[in-house]
Chain A
Amino acid sequence: MSRWRYFFKRLLLSVPVLFLTMTFIFVLLRMGPVDPVAARLGPQATGAEAERMRERLGLNDPLWEQYLDFVTSFLTFDLGQSWVVFSGTDVTTIVAITGPPTLWLGFWAILLPLFIGIPLGFYAGLRPNSGGDYLASVSGILWQAMPNFWLCIMILAVLRQTHGGGWLGFDWYTFGPEIRSITGTPDLAFLSINSIETGLITVPLLTGVDWGALAVDIKLILPPALVLGSASMAAELRIGRTAILETINSNYVVTAKAKGLKDRVIIWKHVFRNAMIPLVPVITNEAFLLIGGSVIVESIFNINGLGNAFFQAMTQGDLPLAGALLFIFTLIIIFLNILQDLLYTLIDPRVGYDR
């Protein structure tokens, strides 16, 4: 079977996965014990009020009808409205508001480990059992062992002590671009986009970047991104180290050495590319971690993102919002799985169902 047939087969397999997830979400949300009406109205509502709301929300329709509605509207991206947390607001509006901060956080949470974890891992792998290797490995394990929620609280506690000049006069608030608070949602308004009217369609055009605003947004997102990326940074370090060690001792490297290639060429052409193969699933899997981790990090840093919205929806029984966000998370994960398969087929020609 060719690589591409393998890829398309994987693509097709995601369709039943999608349906199973939707059914699962439906069962979990509609038939579970959480009563959104009680959550919405509180203990002082009377039965008549609750009944009116139940009717308005369509909770009195037969279950199969609710299921059909649910599936068709989800497939057409009509994700409905939030009931409790942002009552009456369209879920698509909520996603449009909360999505960008999460993407911004996720972007930095992937970028930081990539540029810190992998180089450190490769450095340690190329100098096994040296002092530098031990230092990198031990700090990597320590870093990974610290739970995210604890790291968040610690970083907040340490950084806010520097307000108005902390240790040695260091003040994180005025260090570099000035910020008012270390918590809160980045504005993400550093791109100025104008539209050009061409008669028929309007073309959005990037006309400038506000570097100051960009710097503030980056500074605001660095602490949470560092926490969110902490686990993957350590994982990349350790797997990168092992992968390098494995390839550097393999036969083809010995052969390359024997035929007189320079070290630099061996490492760039033979070692790195092969060492990347085990790192691909690690990096794509990170994205799954980011979705889960963003729930905690966003709520502690008070970032108005998807994770924060999901947390509130879950704890307050906001079924449509929680369901819609779960659905979006599922879509993201399915998409990332496909991306992972695509990357495999590109990097490693041997991938396929049978060889």
Chain B
Amino acid sequence: MLALLGGSASVGLAGCSALLSEEDEDEDETSEYEVSDNADKAQAAWERVLANTAPEDEAIRTDAYIEIEEAVRDDMVLLPLFHNQEERFWYDHVDVPKTGSLGAHHQQHNHTDVDGDTELNLINSTFSELDPIMSTDTASGVVVNQIYETLTQFPNGVAELENQLLEGVETSDDGLTWTFTIRDDVQFHNGEDLTADDFKYSFRRVAESEYSERANFLLETPLGLGIEYEEDDDGGVVPDSIAFEVIDDHTFEITLREPNPAVLDILAYSAFAAIPEGYVGDIEGYDGEVDHQEFETDVANGTGPFELDEFELNEEVRVVRNDNYYGTVATLESVHWEINEDPESGFTYAMERNADIFGIPTAQYDPDLIDAETDDSGRESGTYGPLENGDTVNYLAIPELSTFYLAFNVSNVPRAVRQAVAYVTDHEEVIEDLFQGRGFKAYSFTPSGMWPSGQDGYESWVDEWPYGVDETDRDGARDVLEEAGFTDDDPYELTASTYASEPAFGEFAELTRQKLSGLGVEVSNQETEFATMQNRAEDGDVEMYSLGWIWSWPNVTYGHFALEPKNTDTSRMPNEATGFYLDWHVNLEDEA
């Protein structure tokens, strides 16, 4: 699930700073790009991943993934800073399963109990679409997941895949044809039986509907499934051309263009949820029982444990129990979300005991009140309190599958400078001072929870981290800068680009400025709106920038594709290249 990293805060239209994009002063120094073995190593490793996608080739992929991480580290094109910490607090009268690293929005509340009440009360952010193919944020996702269901699921957001509507699956020898058998005891909220035709219709909507926001998860590879389809003259999808064949009522077959090990992970994404055939008329061949505007907010018809009751835009949403659910029928009669974006009133609402499960805004947060222990999967659980209202509540902190990082446009910043920044970065300090301890240290782009060679492999990775673990290594930075000819007298001027809604990155840039001053690098920071920064980065106009990546499913490929050197070419963005804004391709042997 994708969260908008741009977030909120800061009123007013973004300033005009983006329009005054400055000249690149350091053009002379970097116009001759060094060839780097690391770029070639990453490119070759990525190509090996693509060539070995069968399930039995996992060992080859594991090695390749680690080589990509090594190349990123040694060339220092991207410096991982922290993995987000998701925290939740709940009153004692609530009995709710622990959530996992993929996020609490995966949690279906049919296993949640509230002592003394039949309704679970929660807080949610603003959203406006209940159509699964439009739902790209966690706010709508948390509601959509109560109403609609997919073939597979990550129960409670724990990164262990289970079947949901799926009964069984078979793969052809070439790994291209997948035959799915779905459950035969499932009914939609309106009483109709779930059949393979409903899935075909739902998948066609993902590919063809003008409202679909994640068609790439079905059509493209390796970011998505890479299903076979016919392209029309404008690059769109020819109606009814996706390779989806209904065999009988409960069996269907899809054909991919290339083998893909992540198929079942991707199918857990909420866009692939089942909707009754012909319910909405937004693709060719269907008139629709309801129009799309209604389908977005007024009506819903899925197979999930709860049915939509009411949705008042920007105010509240309520879902009520589906008594006909094929799985565990909820004991709760309903779940209610108060929509509230403001931390102060959200906290007030929680302190009034109106919300059963809630978050605590940083202004009210006190790390000393936590009494928690870490479990096997890195989750910290225990209690927090006493709160302002006297209660001590349950506490859970989860390392989210996300990485927030600092990245460099390779064509604008020499390698020595990039490495110097890494040398002076102290991860411990970043987490404690800039994020009040609400985060987990990141030494690799791929989070430890899904590290290809497991937990031991990850630990030795951290041990081998060359830029000093949890320390500010000014000597290391000085050495590498002197070797490259940057001194205090002739410093390199480095511009950082951070975005306003994450002020901690701005503080990080300031911290780095102080640490590097006198060593031959002068850092200055330009803070802009998120979208502005993104636009400039896409134009190849930034030097050092901060961003984050959140995994929608626990697969290394979904993330590493953006580090493939050829895919980081900003001159081909946004249409042909989809990677991070690194311009790492300039270091490739055949490009230099």
Interface residues of A, Cβ cutoff 8 Å to B: 28-29, 32-35, 38-53, 56, 82, 85-89, 94, 97-98, 152-153, 156-157, 160-161, 163-164, 173, 180-185, 295, 299-302, 304, 308-309, 311-312, 314-317
Binding stretch for chain A, among B61-69, B191-199, B530-538: B530-538
A88-B130 Cα distance, complex, nearest whole Å: 12
Q: Are A156 and B348 in contact (CB under 8 A)?
A: yes
Select A302's contact among B210, B293, B296, B340, beta carbons within 8 Å.
B340
- Shortest Cβ distance from B536 into chain A, in angstroms? 9
Q: Which residues of B contact A182 (CB under 8 A)?
A: 348, 352
Closest chain A CB from B502 CB (angstroms):
13
CA distance A308 to B315 in the complex (A): 11
> Which residues on B sit within 8 Å (CB–CB) of A89?
128, 293, 296-297, 313
Contact yes or no, B213 A33, CB < 8 A: no
The answer to whether B5 touches A43 (Cβ under 8 A) is yes
> A280 vs B344: C-alpha distance in the bound complex, in angstroms?
35
Q: Please, which residue of chain B has its CB at the minimum distance from the CB of A161?
A: B388
Q: Which residue of A lies closest to B528 (CB)?
A: A33
Report the minimum CB–CB distance from A145 to chain B (whole Å): 21
B315 surroundings in chain A (CB, below 8 A)? 184-185, 304
Candidate in B236, B342, B346, B529 with the most chain A CB atoms within 10 angstroms: B342
Q: Is B460 an interface residue (CB 8 A)?
A: no
> Which listed residue (B134, B314, B338) contacts A98, Cβ 8 A?
B314
Among candidates B4, B210, B354, residue contacting A180 with C-beta atoms closer than 8 Å = B354
Digit string of B1-38 for contact with A (CB within 8 Å is 1, else 0)?
A: 01111101111111110110000000000000000000
- Asked if A34 contacts B344 (CB within 8 A), the reply is no
For B134, the closest partner residue in chain A by CB is A87
Say how far B474's CB is from chain A's closest CB, in angstroms.
Answer: 33
Within 8 A of A (CB), among B518-577: 529-532, 534-535, 547-550, 552, 573-577
- For the complex, is B172 an interface residue (Cβ under 8 Å from A)? no
Complex-state Cα separation, A152 to B213, whole angstroms: 38
- Using a Cβ–Cβ cut-off of 8 Å, how many residues does chain B contribute to the interface with A? 73
In the complex formed, the residue of A with least CB distance to B220 is A46
**Contact A32–B13 (Cβ < 8 Å):** yes
Query: Which residues in chain B, 336-371, are within 8 Å of chain A measured between CB atoms?
Result: 338-342, 344-346, 348-349, 351-354
Task: Give the distance in Å from the alpha carbon of A311 to the alpha carbon of B211 in the complex.
Answer: 25
Q: Are B9 and A315 in contact (CB under 8 A)?
A: yes
Q: Which residues of B contact A94 (CB under 8 A)?
A: 313
Question: Chain A contacts of B18 at CB under 8 A?
Answer: 33
Measured CB to CB, the nearest residue on chain A to B574 is A47
Chain A residues whose C-beta falls within 8 Å of the C-beta of B136 in the assembled complex: 41-42
B265 is an interface residue with CB less than 8 A from chain A: no
Given contacts A89-B296, A156-B344, A181-B348, 6 further A-B contacts (CB under 8 A): A38-B531, A52-B210, A160-B388, A181-B354, A302-B346, A315-B9
- Expressed in whole angstroms, the minimum distance between the Cβ of A244 and any Cβ of chain B is 38
CB < 8 Å neighbour of A88 from B12, B128, B214, B345: B128
Q: A85-B126, A88-B296 are in contact. Are A302 and B5 (CB under 8 A)?
A: no
Residues of A within 8 A of B187 (CB): none
Most chain A C-beta atoms within 10 Å of own C-beta, residue among B235, B297, B389, B529: B529
Cα-based distance from A309 to B341 in the complex (angstroms): 11
Please, which residue of chain B has its CB at the minimum distance from the CB of A303? B345
Please classify the interface of chain B as helix (H, G, I), strand (E, B), loop, or mixed, using the class held by over half of its residues: loop
In B242-294, the 8 Å CB interface with A consists of 292-293
Q: Which residue of A lies closest to B18 (CB)?
A: A33
Residue B307 is within 8 A (CB to CB) of chain A in the complex: no
Contact indicator A295/B532 (Cβ below 8 Å): no
> Using Cβ atoms and an 8 Å threshold, which residues of chain A touch B342?
299-302
Once A and B bind, how many residue pairs between them come within 8 Å at the CB atom?
Answer: 177
On whether the beta carbons of B532 and A45 are closer than 8 Å, the reply is no
Q: Is B10 a contact of A43 with CB atoms below 8 Å? A: no
Whether A317 lies near B11 (C-beta < 8 A) is no
Task: Decide: B213 and A49 in contact? CB cutoff 8 A.
Answer: yes
Given contacts A41-B136, A50-B574, A163-B352, contact A183 B340 (CB under 8 A): yes
Contacting pair A38 B535 (CB below 8 A): yes
What are the 8 A-B residue pairs with the smallest beta carbon separation, nearest first?
A47-B574, A47-B575, A183-B345, A86-B128, A302-B345, A33-B18, A304-B314, A302-B340
B498 at the interface (CB under 8 A from A): no
Q: How far is the CA of A89 from the CA of B293 in the complex (A)?
A: 7
Give the docked Cα–Cα distance between A272 and B216 (Å).
71
Measured between beta carbons, the chain A residues less than 8 angstroms from B529 are 33-34
Contact with B213, one of A35, A45, A185 (Cβ below 8 angstroms): A45
Other-chain residue from A41, A173, A185, A315 in contact with B11 (beta carbon distance below 8 A): A315
User: In whole angstroms, how far apart are the Cα atoms of A35 and B8 in the complex?
Assistant: 15
Give the chain A neighbours of B389 by CB distance below 8 A.
Answer: 160, 163-164
Please, which residues of chain A bring their CB within 8 A of the CB of B5? 42-43
Verify if B215 is at the interface (C-beta below 8 Å from A).
yes
A87 & B313 in contact (Cβ 8 Å cutoff): no
In Å, the complex CA distance between A33 and B533 comes to 10
Would you call B576 and A312 a contact (CB within 8 A)? no
Which residues of the other chain, A, contact B216 by a CB distance below 8 angstroms?
45-46, 48-49
The CA of A50 and the CA of B531, in the complex, are separated in Å by 13
- Determine if B578 is an interface residue (Cβ-Cβ < 8 Å): yes
Shortest beta-carbon distance from B406 to chain A in Å: 15
CA distance A315 to B14 in the complex (A): 9
Contact B11 A311 (CB under 8 A): yes
**Most chain B beta-carbon neighbours within 10 Å: one of A29, A97, A173:** A97
Bound Cα distance A216, B370 (Å): 38
B396-437 residues at the A interface, CB under 8 angstroms: none
Asked if A312 and B297 sit within 8 Å, CB to CB, the answer is no
CB distance from A314 to the nearest CB of B (A): 6
Residues of B within 8 A of A48 (CB): 216, 235, 575
A43 & B549 in contact (Cβ 8 Å cutoff): yes
Task: Give min CB distance, B261 to chain A, whole Å.
Answer: 20
CA–CA, A181 and B15, complex, Å: 38
Considering residues A89, A94, A295, which has the most beta carbons from chain B within 10 angstroms of its beta carbon? A89
A311 to B8, CA, bound (A): 9
In the assembled complex, the CB of B413 is this many whole angstroms from the nearest CB of chain A, namely 21
9 sampled A-B residue pairs with Cβ under 8 A: A32-B16, A34-B529, A43-B5, A45-B213, A47-B573, A47-B574, A89-B296, A183-B345, A311-B11
Complex-state Cα separation, A52 to B235, whole angstroms: 10
Given contacts A160-B348, A180-B354, A300-B344, contact A39 B6 (CB under 8 A): yes
Nearest to B547 among chain A residues (CB) is: A43
Cα separation A61 to B117 with both chains bound (whole Å): 54
How far is B388's CA from A329's CA once the two chains are assembled, in angstroms?
A: 39
Contacts of B19 in A (CB 8 A): 33
Give Cα A157–Cα B129 distance, bound, in whole angstroms. Answer: 33
Q: Is B588 an interface residue (CB 8 A)?
A: no
Asked whether any CB of chain A lies closer than 8 Å to the CB of B223, the reply is yes
A34 contacts B13, C-beta separation under 8 Å:
yes
The residue on A at minimum CB distance from B8 is A315
- The reply to whether B293 and A47 contact each other, CB–CB distance below 8 Å, is no
